[in-house]
């Protein structure tokens, strides 16, 4: 890992030294453009880190690795080394790859581990224990996944890619209003307050809050990142970091052991590939449901002339909703970790014939029923993060990773300075209990030791004739697949620019509960009335997801990066 790369020890990154040849923009309806490369992420500082790596001669994978580690420092709500995620790659030469670094259930996990004698999930003082306890922590995958992607496709020396994040952690970053609001949210304060190891990271030594503009230094995290910088994956899964994790687990009644850490492997899988109106859609296979269901919904929609139906008109929203209902029903019924579910009907779900059969059941004058006797799904909060990268060759990376909730379990490993995920809550924790109120107990995603929990994360790359055109994805729990789909439709069917496509108002339906979510001020009242007259129920929320995308014009070779204005600290760096 360390020898085969070209040494780039002169990497010059410093957040204090803004390089004039970079154009950087916060977020919004206009793209930030360049000729040589771009990174769009939820952290403007991390985007700058990624672009500096590109300037230093790195490729899209190098920049993605550096951006991901930087976000573990600058975007603690979801940027992580204590969680997991997925990376999709599409080279300018046509090569594609999918890296799975989803968390795994610890060896000591059992199917009914969160249930009381009546089969109900146990609650502690702060919430259900599948999300709010140290037992909610899955074996982290991020460090292994980034190392695997780098070994396969990176070009610079590993240690140079981690150097910027070590520096950011040690020198500190300015507290933003968003970070301040997050840390001091009253509920979150209570969750952090459960563990002194967490409190000491997110509040000053005297317990006072960090204020916007204060410098936030994370020394323990800097040390952990340095061990990863020097030893790669072993700097996390062995040695001092592993000792700190396992000691902390033992002392706090957690499940993860040294054996769990040492058995963790990231996996390169075959990406899901699908066609949509002369474009190729490359996305993540199980244990993400994202690629399969995105493709299935697009296949259904391919049979409608969407460009002739007004964008976000009632008729358009009806067609979208009915496609979402059908796609998400299949998600619940069939998908889980492929290493534990050999018989998933992926080929069928991806077939144009299946889409055609489903399309035929769509009634244009009224909504379909969501069968309440079947399965239900719950809403999730929106605290994952996605970023997209393009380099000067036109290679693209689309990466989504998460701690599950914002700040995951809210538990920081004493002495190691990083947050642990609460991803175990993504399993179906009540086997056989599936109902309209949101419990889901279908077999493919029940807890088994070492199984990966089903995810909705949908990093995607759209290509034309084998050449990557744009990369996109979003946070948002189950809304992720729909956000990514609408971004793709906005470009391909409606001719929007990449920035317009991620800014446009969107909707979400996930089969059950049978209700459609609109964004506040997103859809006009008369459209909503007409849509409801087709039988749909609507609820409104502030926003859905926050997409981050890069686009490369195949003719002019101009690169555009777009950061969703829904992400307050987000930004694009391009050059």
| Cβ 402 to ligand DON shortest distance, Å | 5
Rg (CA), the chain: 22
The residue within the footprint of ligand DON, chosen from 417, 475, 522, 561 (CB under 6 A), is: 475
The residue within the footprint of ligand DON, chosen from 62, 130, 426, 519 (CB under 6 A), is: 426
The residue among 255 and 457 lying less far from ligand DON, judged by its C-beta, is: 457
| Cβ 319 to ligand DON shortest distance, Å | 25
The residue among 62 and 429 lying less far from ligand DON, judged by its C-beta, is: 429
Q: What is the DSSP letter of 308?
A: G
φ, ψ of residue 7 in degrees (nearest 5): -75, 135
Check binding of 476 to ligand DON (CB under 6 A). yes
The residue among 19 and 378 lying less far from ligand DON, judged by its C-beta, is: 378
| Cβ 405 to ligand DON shortest distance, Å | 6
Check binding of 327 to ligand DON (CB under 6 A). no
The residue among 78 and 499 lying less far from ligand DON, judged by its C-beta, is: 78
The residue among 48 and 130 lying less far from ligand DON, judged by its C-beta, is: 130
Kindly indicate which of the ranges 66-74, 249-257, 470-478, 525-533 contains the residues binding ligand DON, using the contact rule CB under 6 A: 470-478
Check binding of 405 to ligand DON (CB under 6 A). yes
| Cβ 477 to ligand DON shortest distance, Å | 4
> Where in 337-428 does DSSP place strands (E)?
384-390, 396-402, 411-412, 419-420
| Cβ 475 to ligand DON shortest distance, Å | 5
| Cβ 480 to ligand DON shortest distance, Å | 6
Give the span between the Cα atoms of 516 and 538, in whole angstroms. 5
Q: How many residues bind ligand DON (CB under 6 A)?
A: 16
Tokens read off for 215: 């410098």
In the sheet with 548-552, reading across from the earlier edge strand, the strands are: 32-34, 559-563, 548-552, 467-472, 460-464, 279-283, 272-276
Give the span between the Cα atoms of 499 and 340, in whole angstroms. 39
| Cβ 454 to ligand DON shortest distance, Å | 8
Q: Per 3-state DSSP, what percentage of the chain is helix, strand, and coil (rounded to 5)?
A: 35, 20, 45
| Cβ 330 to ligand DON shortest distance, Å | 16
Could you give the 3-state DSSP secondary structure of residue 448? coil
| Cβ 336 to ligand DON shortest distance, Å | 13
495: region left, alpha or beta (phi > 0 left; psi from -120 to 50 alpha): left
The residue within the footprint of ligand DON, chosen from 291, 417, 468, 477 (CB under 6 A), is: 477
Check binding of 402 to ligand DON (CB under 6 A). yes
| Cβ 393 to ligand DON shortest distance, Å | 30
**Positions 430 through 459 that interact with ligand DON (CB under 6 A):** 455-457
Q: Are 65 and 85 in contact, with CB atoms under 8 Å apart?
A: no
The total number of residues written for the chain in this structure: 575
How do beta strands 548-552 and 32-34 pair? Answer: unpaired
**Positions 342 through 401 that interact with ligand DON (CB under 6 A):** 380-384
The b-or-e profile of 460-482 (16+ CB within 10 A means b, else e) is bbbbeeebbbbbbbbbbbbbbbb
The residue among 100 and 414 lying less far from ligand DON, judged by its C-beta, is: 100
Distance in angstroms between the alpha carbons of the first and the last residue of the chain: 28
Q: Are 27 and 115 in contact, with CB atoms under 8 Å apart?
A: no
Tokens read off for 548: 């981050």
The residue among 386 and 494 lying less far from ligand DON, judged by its C-beta, is: 386
Q: Are 387 and 64 in contact, with CB atoms under 8 Å apart?
A: yes
Catalytic residues: 384
The residue among 405 and 470 lying less far from ligand DON, judged by its C-beta, is: 405
Nearest C-alpha neighbor of 134 from the set 261, 254, 258: 254
Q: How many Cα atoms occupy the beta-carbon half-sphere of 527 within 13 Å?
A: 15
Q: What is the dihedral of CA 459, 152, 83, 549, to 10 degrees?
A: -30
The residue among 366 and 381 lying less far from ligand DON, judged by its C-beta, is: 381
Give alpha helix (H) positions in 37-141.
44-55, 60-74
The residue among 105 and 457 lying less far from ligand DON, judged by its C-beta, is: 457
How do beta strands 84-90 and 396-402 pair? Answer: antiparallel
Give the span between the Cα atoms of 447 and 107, in whole angstroms. 11
Give the span between the Cα atoms of 293 and 458, in whole angstroms. 9
φ, ψ of residue 229 in degrees (nearest 5): -60, -40
Contacts to ligand DON by CB under 6 A = 380-384, 402, 404-405, 423, 426, 455-457, 475-477
């Amino acid at each position: 890992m360390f020898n085969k790369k070209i040494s780039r020890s002169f990497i010059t990154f410093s957040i204090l030294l803004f390089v004039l040849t970079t154009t950087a923009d916060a977020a919004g309806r206009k793209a930030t453009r360049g000729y040589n490369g771009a990174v769009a992420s939820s952290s403007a500082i991390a985007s700058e880190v990624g672009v500096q790596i590109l300037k230093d001669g790195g490729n899209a994978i190098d920049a993605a690795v550096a951006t991901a580690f930087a976000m573990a420092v600058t975007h603690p709500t979801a940027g992580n080394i204590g969680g997991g995620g997925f990376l999709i790659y599409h080279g300018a030469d046509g090569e594609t790859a999918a890296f799975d670094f989803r968390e795994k259930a610890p060896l000591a996990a059992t199917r009914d581990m969160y249930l009381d004698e009546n089969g109900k999930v146990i609650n502690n003082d702060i919430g259900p224990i599948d999300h709010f306890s140290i037992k909610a922590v899955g074996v982290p995958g991020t460090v292994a996944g980034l190392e695997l992607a780098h070994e396969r496709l990176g070009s610079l020396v590993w240690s140079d890619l981690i150097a910027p994040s070590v520096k950011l952690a040690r020198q500190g970053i300015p507290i933003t209003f968003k970070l301040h609001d997050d840390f001091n949210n009253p509920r979150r304060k209570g969750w952090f307050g459960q563990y002194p190891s967490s409190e000491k990271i997110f509040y000053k030594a005297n317990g006072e809050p960090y204020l916007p503009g204060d410098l936030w230094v994370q020394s323990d995290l800097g040390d952990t990142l340095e061990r990863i910088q020097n030893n790669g994956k072993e700097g996390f899964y062995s040695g001092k970091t592993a000792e700190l994790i396992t000691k902390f687990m033992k002392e706090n009644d957690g499940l993860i052991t040294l054996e769990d850490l040492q058995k963790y492997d990231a996996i390169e899988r075959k990406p899901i590939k699908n066609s949509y109106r002369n474009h190729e859609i490359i996305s993540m296979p199980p244990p993400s449901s994202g690629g399969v269901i995105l493709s299935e919904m697009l296949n259904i929609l391919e049979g409608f002339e969407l460009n002739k139906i007004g964008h976000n008109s009632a008729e358009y929203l009806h067609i979208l909703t009915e496609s979402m209902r059908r796609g998400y029903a299949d998600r619940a019924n069939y998908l889980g970790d492929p290493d534990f579910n050999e018989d998933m009907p992926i080929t069928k779900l991806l077939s144009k014939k299946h889409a055609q059969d489903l399309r035929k059941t769509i009634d244009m004058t009224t909504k379909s029923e969501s069968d309440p006797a079947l399965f239900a799904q719950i809403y999730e909060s929106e605290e994952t993060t996605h970023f997209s990268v393009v380099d000067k060759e036109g290679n693209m990376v689309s990466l989504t990773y998460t701690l599950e909730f914002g700040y995951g379990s809210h538990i920081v490993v004493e002495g190691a300075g990083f947050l642990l995920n609460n991803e175990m809550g993504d399993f179906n924790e009540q086997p056989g209990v599936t109902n309209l109120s949101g419990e889901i107990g279908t077999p493919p995603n029940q807890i088994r030791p070492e199984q990966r929990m089903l995810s909705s994360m949908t990093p995607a790359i759209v290509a034309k004739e084998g050449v990557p055109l744009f990369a996109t994805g979003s946070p948002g729990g189950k809304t992720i697949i729909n956000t990514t789909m609408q971004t793709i439709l906005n470009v391909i069917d409606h001719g929007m620019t990449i920035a317009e496509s991620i800014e446009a108002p969107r909707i979400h339906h996930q089969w059950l509960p049978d209700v459609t979510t609109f964004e506040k001020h997103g859809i006009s009242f008369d459209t909503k009335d007409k849509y409801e007259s087709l039988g749909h129920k609507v609820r409104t929320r502030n926003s859905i997801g926050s997409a981050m995308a890069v686009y490369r014009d195949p003719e002019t070779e101009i690169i555009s990066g777009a950061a969703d204005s829904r992400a307050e600290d987000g930004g694009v760096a391009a050059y």
